[in-house]
């Protein structure tokens, strides 16, 4: 029993509780009403009986004193006739002898003894074949002449009481039914909403992180659904980050080993190639026709060796990720210093760089060199995607208690299908051989370490924009990886 | 205990049900359709039955004379039963048929009883040093009427057809002018008690009434708020006091005993206290001749009322 109750659904429990509560309090209230109403009606009934008996006694006194039994009898009969609930009237003298009564078949045995001290008056209950009767006695002339007795039927009161109670009972039953129906409707709706939330939670548990709880009401369940959706989105993001971090860590390890292994033969090849290049400049060798194209081939080989070295250097640089060296950093200054390094590159790209620096931004707690690395990569990326005469915009601003840096260009923009993958290692949109695809992955890693965010989006007027948001005071990192930052390339600026 | 801790609703329900119940007292049972067998009357001890005529309302009469009669019975060693009737005529009949032993009677009815069966005076009360009393004709205190003539055509209250002060005197005055009350006044009624007539005038129920001086004086002392709303416009000559009367055939010993007790009541403190209630000083003997004046008035009124073809309100 205990186990089956614990296994019952929310709807059943609420319904049972509501019905039980209404039933219990309904019974209590009905009981109190019954008791109170019964006492009230009984009291009024007795008061009425006493009033009738008093009038009868006052009116009957002269008849008793003058032995006018006919008038006394007529008074008793008329009094009984006037009220439906008077069962009988009788008068006793001071010696207890019945002077007159309204019983057609004779005065009943035992009735006169009901009131032992009738001279003082009072009310006694009598059980008869006509039901319970209140025998109300009032003294005649203070008891010196005897007493008057009026028998009032309680059934009349009971009948009225039952009638009222049935009405109340019907109303209470209707209220109970209405309450139960209302509780059923409300709990059904509640249970449906809870069930939808449970289903969504189970789907998320099975790995479907795209599941969303569809409950937009403003009540507690609506807030729970909203919190659930936020939690699921955060979970998805965390999973993405974990996957990427794991991938990055794995790639880092692999890259480090491969680069290490390749670097040595590459160095040897570079030395040999350089030696051959030097020899190929010899005039004697240049005169021989079969060595005419040797310098060209050797130059190509040298270039490719250096390209491979660059790749291994990039890989090693990516693998040898270091923790930030924290210090207070002026982001505007970092931007200016980074642009100063890129002067020749700007000329080469034949583009213009427009600065929109906020000035007076709060200092960041960050690694200045790593931030320069990020800006460098973003600016080089922008230059690579600009056409001739294009523009690059660099903007800084305060945002959400931190600082935002945006690098925008007037280039060709980013294809929507590329946006989610921009920050993946080795993902590149450049032609083969023109990039390793590690630049944005490095930016993402550095931003994560600073507990910031980096986003890529297309500008409405054309081109792309990359926005980095960094907190002024990053919280202490947990587990060696910055878990609070995020990189998004989903088309949002 | 575990059950109650885990099921508070059950505890609540039990408490509510218990509260709805309450203690019940035993109720006697009677079958109303079953009549009690008739019982033979137990032999009664001889009771001294004394009637009090309807001077005043039965309640006032009982209050005034109950203690005196109880004293009488105690002195005579017999239980006393007070008998009242609504009219003087009934009191006379009770005595004539010897259904009562004695009657505290009004003077007018005594004269009638004397005439019919020779009723005898046992004693008369002396009040205010006198054994006579008068009739008052009264009107409401703010009434413009100053004489009996001013009451012509108006409403008037009598107490009893045989009452001296409650009808006979006014009827006599009108008879002297050749008039009868029922035609002189616009409306007449019998209130069956002098206190009733006084209250009827005080309440404005009637324009005037003829009442017993002794009862008016007593009411002025006991209920001044009532008497003060009336005004006396006419006082009669004195009449013989209302006597205590017995049948001529009454046992001589009982008659003597009653006379002795009544005549000596004033001699002790207890007796004086009892007599003070109706304002009686003592009981004294009285001769029948004291009521001759009443006899003459009765004859004159009877003559007038028997005259045929008299016009309403017109003098002879």
pLDDT band at A424 (very low <50, low <70, confident <90, very high): confident
**Is the confidence metric ipTM above 0.95 for this complex?**
no
Nearest Cα to B82, choosing from B91, B72, B69? Answer: B69
Q: Bridge partners of B51?
A: B83, B103
Q: What pLDDT does A430 receive?
A: 74
How many CA atoms does the CB half-sphere of B161 hold within 13 Å? Answer: 10
Q: Which residues does chain B have within 8 Å of residue A108's beta carbon, measured at their own beta carbons?
A: 30-36
Asked if the model's pLDDT at residue A144 lies above 50, the reply is yes
Q: Tokens 């060296």 sit at which residue?
A: A325
Cβ of B57 under 8 Å from any chain A Cβ? yes
What is the nearest CA distance from B37 to chain A, expressed in angstroms?
A: 8
For A186, residues 6+ apart whose C-beta sits below 8 A from its C-beta are none
Q: Which residues does chain B have within 8 Å of residue A87's beta carbon, measured at their own beta carbons?
A: 32
Is the alpha carbon torsion for A235, A236, A241, A243 positive or negative? positive
Q: What is the DSSP letter of B164?
A: I
Q: Chains A, B: CB contacts under 8 A, how many?
A: 99
> Average pLDDT for residues B112-131, to the nearest whole number?
95
Angle at B60 between CA B55 and CA B61, to 5 degrees: 55
How many CA atoms does the CB half-sphere of B124 hold within 13 Å? Answer: 24
Asked if the model's pLDDT at residue A482 lies above 50, the reply is no
d(CA B98, CA B250): 8
d(CA B214, CA B211): 9
> Average pLDDT for residues A67-92, to the nearest whole number?
93
Domains of chain B plus CATH, in order, are 48-131+241-288 (3.40.190.10), 135-236 (3.40.190.10)
d(CA A101, CA A369): 123
d(CA A97, CA B180): 46
Q: Which residues does chain A have within 8 Å of residue B24's beta carbon, measured at their own beta carbons?
A: none
For A225, residues 6+ apart whose C-beta sits below 8 A from its C-beta are A193, A197, A213, A214, A215, A216
Asked if the model's pLDDT at residue B305 lies above 70, the reply is yes
A-contacting residues in B 63-92 (Cβ below 8 Å): 66, 83-86
Record: contact A128-B32, CB cut-off 8 A = yes
In chain B, the residue whose alpha carbon lies closest to the alpha carbon of A31 is: B20
Nearest Cα to A152, choosing from A224, A268, A34, A56? Answer: A56
Cβ of B34 under 8 Å from any chain A Cβ? yes
Q: What is the DSSP letter of B47?
A: -
**Residue A169 in 3-state DSSP?**
helix
Q: Where in chain A is the domain with CATH 3.30.565.10?
A: 324-493
Kindly list the distances between the CA atom of residue B173 and the CA atoms of A126, A284, A413, B107, in Å, as whole numbers in the listed order.
61, 194, 142, 18
Q: Which of A109, A128, A144 sits opposite B35 (nearest CB)?
A: A109
Length of chain B: 316
Nearest Cα to B165, choosing from B118, B106, B110? Answer: B106
Q: Which residues does chain A have within 8 Å of residue B9's beta carbon, measured at their own beta carbons?
A: 20-21, 24
Asked if the model's pLDDT at residue A480 lies above 70, the reply is no
For the beta carbon of residue B50, count every other beta carbon within 10 angstroms. 22
Angle at A138 between CA B44 and CA A135, to 5 degrees: 95
In chain B, the residue whose alpha carbon lies closest to the alpha carbon of A28 is: B16
Record: contact A32-B19, CB cut-off 8 A = yes
Nearest Cα to A90, choosing from A110, A112, A67? Answer: A112
Within its chain, how far is the Cα of B15 from the centroid?
64
Asked if the model's pLDDT at residue B312 lies above 70, the reply is no
Asked if the model's pLDDT at residue A403 lies above 80, the reply is yes
Q: Which residues does chain A have within 8 Å of residue B31's beta carbon, measured at their own beta carbons?
A: 108-110, 128-129
Q: What pLDDT does A459 receive?
A: 92
Asked if the model's pLDDT at residue A479 lies above 60, the reply is no
- Using one digit for the tens of pLDDT, what is the confidence trace for A174-233? 888 888 888 888 888 888 888 888 899 999 889 888 888 887 788 888 888 899 999 998
DSSP H helix total and E strand total for chain B: 13, 13
Strands A327-329 and A364-366: antiparallel
Q: Where in chain A is the domain with CATH 3.30.450.20?
A: 8-163
Q: Which residues does chain B have within 8 Å of residue A67's beta carbon, measured at their own beta carbons?
A: 83-85
Nearest Cα to B214, choosing from B281, B135, B103? Answer: B135
Nearest Cα to B153, choosing from B179, B180, B202, B187? Answer: B187
d(CA A23, CA A183): 14
- Using one digit for the tens of pLDDT, what is the confidence trace for B60-97? 899 899 999 999 999 999 999 999 999 999 999 999 99
Torsion of CA B266, B272, B276, B278, to 10 degrees: -50
Q: Which residues does chain B have within 8 Å of residue A141's beta carbon, measured at their own beta carbons?
A: 59, 62
> Average pLDDT for residues B230-255, to the nearest whole number?
96
Strands A486-488 and A453-458: parallel
What is the nearest CA distance from B107 to chain A, expressed in angstroms?
A: 20
Record: contact B12-A130, CB cut-off 8 A = no
Q: Which residues does chain A have within 8 Å of residue B60's beta carbon, measured at their own beta carbons?
A: none
Record: contact A110-B30, CB cut-off 8 A = yes
pLDDT band at A477 (very low <50, low <70, confident <90, very high): low
Cβ of B40 under 8 Å from any chain A Cβ? no
Nearest Cα to A94, choosing from A151, A148, A150? Answer: A148
Asked if the model's pLDDT at residue A88 lies above 90, the reply is yes
pTM as predicted: 0.55
What is the nearest CA distance from A221 to chain B, expressed in angstroms?
A: 28
* E-state strands within A341-485: 352-356, 364-366, 391-399, 402-409, 453-458, 464-471
Cβ of B289 under 8 Å from any chain A Cβ? no
Phi and psi for A137 in degrees, rounded to 5?
-110, 135
In chain B, the residue whose alpha carbon lies closest to the alpha carbon of A108 is: B35
d(CA B278, CA B212): 13
pLDDT band at B19 (very low <50, low <70, confident <90, very high): low
Q: Taking a C-beta distance cutoff of 8 angstroms, is the pair B158, B169 a contact? A: no
Record: contact A27-B84, CB cut-off 8 A = no
Asked if the model's pLDDT at residue B40 lies above 70, the reply is no
For A321, residues 6+ apart whose C-beta sits below 8 A from its C-beta are A252, A445
What is the nearest CA distance from B59 to chain A, expressed in angstroms?
A: 7
Q: What pLDDT does B113 receive?
A: 96
d(CA A55, CA A50): 9
What is the nearest CA distance from A488 to chain B, expressed in angstroms?
A: 54
Asked if the model's pLDDT at residue A319 lies above 80, the reply is no
Record: contact A61-B31, CB cut-off 8 A = no
Cβ of B18 under 8 Å from any chain A Cβ? no
- Using one digit for the tens of pLDDT, what is the confidence trace for A217-273? 888 888 888 999 999 988 888 887 777 667 667 766 777 777 778 878 888 998 998
Cβ of B26 under 8 Å from any chain A Cβ? no
Angle at A21 between CA A18 and CA A23, to 5 degrees: 105
Record: contact B36-A132, CB cut-off 8 A = no
User: Which of A63-72, A315-324, B123-132 reaches the highest mean pLDDT?
Assistant: B123-132
Q: Bridge partners of B131?
A: none
- A324-493 CATH pick, 3.30.565.10, 2.160.10.10, 3.40.50.740, 3.30.70.660: 3.30.565.10
Kindly list the distances between the CA atom of residue A27 and the CA atoms of A16, A186, B97, B183, B201, in Å, as whole numbers in the listed order.
16, 24, 72, 75, 63
Q: Residue A213 is inside which H or E element, if any?
A: none
Record: contact A130-B86, CB cut-off 8 A = no
Q: Taking a C-beta distance cutoff of 8 angstroms, is the pair B130, B274 a contact? A: no
Record: contact A62-B58, CB cut-off 8 A = yes
Is the alpha carbon torsion for A243, A245, A250, A252 positive or negative? positive
Record: contact A114-B28, CB cut-off 8 A = yes
Q: What pLDDT does B126 receive?
A: 96
Q: Which residues does chain B have within 8 Å of residue A66's beta carbon, measured at their own beta carbons?
A: 54, 58, 84-86
Record: contact B29-A128, CB cut-off 8 A = yes
In chain B, the residue whose alpha carbon lies closest to the alpha carbon of A69 is: B85
Cβ of B10 under 8 Å from any chain A Cβ? no
> Average pLDDT for residues B108-117, to the nearest whole number?
96
A8-163 — its CATH code? 3.30.450.20
Q: What pLDDT does B43 receive?
A: 52
Q: Taking a C-beta distance cutoff of 8 angstroms, is the pair B261, B76 a contact? A: yes
In chain A, the residue whose alpha carbon lies closest to the alpha carbon of B83 is: A66
In chain B, the residue whose alpha carbon lies closest to the alpha carbon of A134 is: B27
> Average pLDDT for residues A71-80, to the nearest whole number?
94
Q: Which of B19, B32, B86 sits opposite A129 (nearest CB)?
A: B32
Phi and psi for B134 in degrees, rounded to 5?
-125, 170
- Using one digit for the tens of pLDDT, what is the confidence trace for B49-59? 999 998 888 98
Q: What pLDDT does B23 receive?
A: 55
Record: contact B35-A108, CB cut-off 8 A = yes
What percent of chain A has a predicted confidence (pLDDT) above 70? Answer: 91
Strands B244-246 and B120-126: antiparallel
Helix H segments across A280-328?
A: 283-287, 294-319
Q: Taking a C-beta distance cutoff of 8 angstroms, is the pair A96, A112 a contact? A: yes
- Using one digit for the tens of pLDDT, what is the confidence trace for A434-444? 667 888 988 99
Record: contact B20-A32, CB cut-off 8 A = yes
Mean pLDDT of all residues belonging to chain A? 84
Q: Which residues does chain A have within 8 Å of residue B16's beta carbon, measured at their own beta carbons?
A: 24, 27-28, 31
């Amino acid at each position: 029993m205990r186990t089956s109750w614990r296994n019952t659904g929310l709807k059943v429990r609420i319904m049972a509780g509501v019905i039980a509560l209404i039933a219990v309090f309904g019974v209590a209230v009905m009981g109190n009403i019954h008791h109170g109403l019964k006492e009230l009606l009984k009291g009024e009934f007795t008061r009425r009986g006493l009033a009738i008996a008093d009038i009868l006694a006052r009116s009957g006194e002269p008849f008793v004193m003058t032995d006018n039994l006919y008038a006394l009898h007529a008074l008793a009969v008329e009094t009984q006739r006037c009220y439906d609930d008077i069962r009988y009237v009788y008068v006793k003298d001071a010696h207890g002898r019945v002077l007159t009564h309204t019983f057609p078949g004779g005065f009943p045995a035992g009735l006169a003894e009901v009131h032992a001290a009738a001279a003082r008056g009072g009310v006694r209950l009598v059980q008869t074949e006509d039901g319970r009767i209140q025998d109300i006695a009032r003294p005649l002339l203070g008891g010196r002449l005897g007493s008057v007795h009026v028998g009032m039927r309680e059934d009349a009161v009971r009948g009225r009481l039952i009638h009222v109670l049935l009405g109340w009972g019907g109303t209470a039953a209707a209220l109970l039914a209405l309450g139960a129906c209302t509780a059923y409707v409300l709990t059904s709706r509640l249970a449906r909403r809870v069930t939808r939330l449970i289903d969504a939670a189970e789907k998320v548990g099975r790995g479907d992180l795209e599941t969303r709880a569809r409950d937009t009401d403003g009540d507690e369940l609506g807030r729970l659904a909203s919190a659930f959706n936020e939690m699921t989105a955060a979970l998805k993001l965390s999973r993405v980050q974990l996957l990427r971090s794991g991938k990055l860590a794995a790639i880092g390890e692999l890259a480090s080993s491969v680069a290490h292994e390749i670097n040595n033969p590459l160095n040897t090849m570079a030395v040999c190639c350089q030696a051959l290049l030097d020899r190929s400049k010899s005039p004697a060798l240049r005169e021989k026709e079969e060595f005419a194209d040797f310098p060209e081939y050797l130059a190509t080989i040298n270039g490719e060796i250096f390209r491979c070295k660059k790749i291994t250097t990039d890989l090693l640089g990516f693998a040898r990720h270091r923790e930030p060296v924290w210090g207070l950093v002026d982001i505007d200054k970092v931007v200016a210093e980074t642009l100063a390094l890129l002067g020749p590159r700007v000329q080469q790209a034949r583009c213009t760089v427009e600065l929109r620096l906020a000035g007076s931004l709060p200092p960041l707690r960050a690694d200045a060199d790593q931030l320069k690395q990020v800006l460098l990569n973003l600016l080089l990326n922008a230059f690579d995607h600009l056409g001739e005469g294009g523009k690059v915009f660099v903007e800084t601003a305060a945002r959400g208690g931190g600082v935002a840096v945006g690098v925008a260009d007037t280039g060709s923009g980013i294809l929507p299908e590329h946006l989610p993958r921009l920050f993946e290692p080795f993902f590149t949109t450049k032609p083969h051989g023109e990039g390793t695809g590690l630049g944005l992955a490095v930016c993402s890693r550095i931003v994560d370490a600073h507990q910031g965010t980096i986003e890529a989006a297309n500008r409405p007027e054309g081109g792309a924009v990359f926005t980095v948001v960094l907190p002024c005071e990053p919280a202490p990192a947990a587990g060696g990886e910055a878990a609070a930052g995020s990189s998004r390339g989903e088309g949002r600026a | 205990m575990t059950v109650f801790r885990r099921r508070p609703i059950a505890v609540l329900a039990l408490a509510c049900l218990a509260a709805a119940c309450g203690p019940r007292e035993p109720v006697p049972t009677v079958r109303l359709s079953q009549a009690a067998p008739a019982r033979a009357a137990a032999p009664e001890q001889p009771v001294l039955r004394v009637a009090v005529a309807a001077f005043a309302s039965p309640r006032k009469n009982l209050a005034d004379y109950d203690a005196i009669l109880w004293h009488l019975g105690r002195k005579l060693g017999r239980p006393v039963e007070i008998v009242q009737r609504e009219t003087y005529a009934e009191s006379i009949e009770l005595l004539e048929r010897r259904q009562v032993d004695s009657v505290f009677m009004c003077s007018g009815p005594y004269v009638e009883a004397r005439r019919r069966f020779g009723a005898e005076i046992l004693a008369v009360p002396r009040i205010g040093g006198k054994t006579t009393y008068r009739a008052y004709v009264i009107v409401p205190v703010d009434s413009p009427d100053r004489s009996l003539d001013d009451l012509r055509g108006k409403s008037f209250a009598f107490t009893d057809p045989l009452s001296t002060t409650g009808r006979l005197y006014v009827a006599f005055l009108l008879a002297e002018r050749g008039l009868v009350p029922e035609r002189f006044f616009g409306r007449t009624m019998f209130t069956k008690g002098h206190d009733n007539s006084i209250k009827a005038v005080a309440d404005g129920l009637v324009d005037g009434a003829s009442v017993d001086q002794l009862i008016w004086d007593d009411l002025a002392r006991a209920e001044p708020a009532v008497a003060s709303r009336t005004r006396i416009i006419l006082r009669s000559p004195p009449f013989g006091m209302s006597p205590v009367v017995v049948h001529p055939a009454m046992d001589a010993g009982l008659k003597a005993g009653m006379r002795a007790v009544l005549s000596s009541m004033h001699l002790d403190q207890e007796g004086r206290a009892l007599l003070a209630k109706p304002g009686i000083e003592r009981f004294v003997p009285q001769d029948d001749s004291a009521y001759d004046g009443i006899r003459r008035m009765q004859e004159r009124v009877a003559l007038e009322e028997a005259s045929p073809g008299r016009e309403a309100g017109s003098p002879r």
